[in-house]
Amino acid sequence: MSVNALFTSTFDTDSETPPAKRRNWGGQAAAIALRGGSFIAFAAILLYFSITAPFFFTIGNIGNVLGQSAILGVLAIGLTVVIIAGGSNVVTGGIDLSVAANMGLSAAVYATVIQLGYGDGLAVLAAISTGALIGAVNAFAVVIVGVVPLLATLAVMNVVAGLELVLTQNTVVPAATDFLSFLSAAGPFGLPVLAYVLLVFTAIATAVVQFTPMGLRLYATGEFPDAARAAGLPVKGLIAGSFLASGFCAGLAGILSVSYLSGSTTGAGDMLLPVVVTALLGTVFSRRLVPTIIGTLLSALLVGFLVNGFQLLNISSTLVNGVQGLLIILVVSATTLLRRQEN
């Protein structure tokens, strides 16, 4: 920051830099502030809660937040993959509105399989296949039929939410097995196992999306489909794959939610908008303001820490929605204004 200020001032006095160039410096400074700003804001929130709420900054509490963010995090990471491959235009580009309903159905399938007396192995397989199958239906509708993702996944969401109601008759289906209690119990170092699941899952997803050629191709497809097609990338395959991945994540999140809630409960659809906001907000935590897996994880944790801190401070956690909404609007306004300045 200070270096930038120094440079601009010397240029101002000594050379005849065109005004456009000077504005560019300002824009760059603002861009750096924005990019760092999201991390500074995150750190400030953590700092504030650590000072005001005594138990906030303890390993146990942080572990709890990680564990509680696992379901949201896994779902949002799935959605992030779709957004990366589909592009950032939300109406015609990548979006998967069926993730939350998909999670609900997968959880219901898991709990029902357990109720029918089968083992965890089959239940896991059934839940993951359910998730992936719904992902495949989305992929079919978007890639083969050519329906806009927003609408295709909206219709699939309705069907899936209905199927969940049919399967569970809108009741809670309890499920208790050793595997589920292992997932919801504390693991090494007193951290919940769900926290480890989230971290390991993020690590794998980051490795695949951020560090493999396939990941790069996903970004290429999303940012410029025509160029990606001209370069010979299997654009349709990649987009279909992204919906499959998001379906898989929803299936996984379904298993996590069964263990977290000791069964399948209704109302999974309420998760939809928080998941969408988390995935879209994740772009703030990346250098180039693009969707990334780590960014989405941080965005999920930010929500988790906010809810947790509000609870510790005895503030109504319903305010978290408002904070999320404000964050989205502030962040997106800042980036939009910056882009306009750069042009």
Partner 1 sequence: MTAGLASRGANSGRSILDRLVRYALIVAIITVFAAFSAAAPTFLAPANLQSILVNNFTLLAIVAIAMTFAVSAGGIDLSVGTAVDFASFAFVSLVLSGQPVPLALLAGVASGALVGAFNAVLIAGIGISPFLATLGTLFIGRSLQQLLTNGGNPVYLPPAGIPEAFRFIGHGAIFGVPFPLIVVLVVIAASAAVLSKTRFGRVLTAIGIQTSVARYSGIAVPAHVAVTYIVAGAIAAIAGLILTSTVTVYIPSSGNAFLLNAIGATFIGTTLSPLGRPNIPGTVLGVLLLSIVSNGLLLTGLNFYWQQVGTGLLIFVVLSISFVNQRAKRRA
| Contacting residues toward partner 1, per CB under 8 A | 89-91, 97, 141, 145-148, 150-152, 154-163, 165-166, 169-170, 273, 276-277, 280, 316, 318-326, 328-329, 332-333, 336-337, 340
CA 122 vs CA 109, 199, 216: distances in Å: 11, 25, 34
148: how many CB neighbours lie within 10 A of its CB?
A: 14
75: how many CB neighbours lie within 10 A of its CB?
A: 33
Nearer to partner 1, 227 or 326 (CB): 326
Nearer to partner 1, 9 or 321 (CB): 321
Nearer to partner 1, 64 or 278 (CB): 278
Q: What are phi and psi of 173, to 5 degrees?
A: -105, 105
CB of 24 to partner 1, least distance (A): 20
In whole angstroms, what is the distance from residue 107 CA to residue 175 CA? Answer: 10
Q: Are 85 and 238 in contact (CB under 8 A)?
A: yes
CB of 323 to partner 1, least distance (A): 8
CB of 58 to partner 1, least distance (A): 28
Nearer to partner 1, 119 or 325 (CB): 325
CA 294 vs CA 126, 153, 184, 198, 209: distances in Å: 29, 25, 24, 11, 10
In whole angstroms, what is the distance from residue 68 CA to residue 198 CA? Answer: 10
Closest CA to 75 of 259, 276, 282, 323: 276
Six-digit token pair at 256?
Answer: 């996590």
Nearer to partner 1, 61 or 168 (CB): 168
Nearer to partner 1, 53 or 148 (CB): 148
Nearer to partner 1, 221 or 324 (CB): 324
Question: Of all helices (H) and strands (E), which one includes residue 174?
Answer: strand 173-174
In whole angstroms, what is the distance from residue 60 CA to residue 179 CA? Answer: 22
Closest CA to 198 of 215, 177, 178, 183: 183
Six-digit token pair at 204?
Answer: 């794998």
CB of 101 to partner 1, least distance (A): 10
- Taking CA 84 as the corner, what is the angle to CA 289 and CA 288, rounded to the nearest 5 degrees? 15
CB of 202 to partner 1, least distance (A): 24
Nearer to partner 1, 108 or 123 (CB): 108
CB of 88 to partner 1, least distance (A): 8
CB of 289 to partner 1, least distance (A): 13
Six-digit token pair at 282?
Answer: 């994740």
Residues in the chain: 343
CB of 301 to partner 1, least distance (A): 18
